[in-house]
Amino acid sequence: MGIELKNRVVVVTGASAGIGAALTQALAAKGAKVVLAARNVERLGEVAERSGGTCAIAVGDVTVREDVHQILATAFAHFGHVDVWINNAGQGISRSLEELTDEDVDAMMQVNLKSALYGMQAVLPHFKSRGSGVLVNVSSMLSRMPLAPQRSAYSAAKAALNALAEGLRAELAQSHPGLRVMTVLPGIVATGFGDHARHGGEDSRALPGGQTPEEVAAAIVRGLEQGEEDCYTRPEGVAPVLGYLERLAAARG
């Protein structure tokens, strides 16, 4: 069950750069009313201006539960309701498993899992009261395939996010069938993700085969419109995951 985006109110976290900024522009181009959420008010203002659409800015840190509720309150204050909530904020890490500290693991879980949990828990009562709404969690192909060992803690956090989303989807199918949960699975994206990873890392824009943020945003918009549950941002994205699972099955006889 897809959704027409014109005049829909969409909250996007991590909207000041990368996928979030591109997604804001793609949604605005479809006629959506976008609530941009992040910590940097100046960058949010620049993104909102570039979008050319109807936007509201919500400054907050999504790793803080109270800030997430304030983002929702900002959406209500400007538009009265929310139709789509997109948990896009996240951060990578560059550190082997042996080097991981408690602080590293806690940071990965806080930024990539708990921030999305806060968003889901904040907006769910509103969606349930309306009988409709779409929750979107931007995960990663690394949650399905261990392609980057130095990002194992990041992969683990995103895999946990997938599990939360899948559990919620099953729960809502029974109690609130008008609500949808969509998981987005990008691969390499040409953004500052690598530069901004915990402990630094290679610039994702220099890696071969990366998608542009605009390509990823277009895939998310298409997933919303077509009612996808798992949204692989590359059409060929499912095949390597299935191949990986088949190899695991074969190894077990």
Active site residues: 154
Please list, in sequence order, all residues whose beta carbon lies within 8 angstroms of the beta carbon of residue 251, skipping any fewer than 6 positions away: none
Q: How big, in percent rounded to 5, are the helix, strand and coil portions of the chain?
A: 55, 15, 30
**Residue 210 corresponds to which tokens in the numbers above?**
């990366």
The total number of residues shown for the chain amounts to 253
Rounded CA gap, 123 and 154, in Å?
Answer: 25
Nearest CA to 120 among 163, 85, 160, 172?
85
Nearest CA to 157 among 193, 104, 203?
104
Rounded CA gap, 164 and 229, in Å?
Answer: 14
- 8-state DSSP, 189: B
Rounded CA gap, 73 and 234, in Å?
Answer: 34
Rounded CA gap, 2 and 11, in Å?
Answer: 17
Query: Could you tell me if 119 and 133 are in contact, meaning their C-beta atoms sit under 8 angstroms apart?
Result: no
**Residue 235 corresponds to which tokens in the numbers above?**
């059409």
Cα maximum dimension of the chain:
58
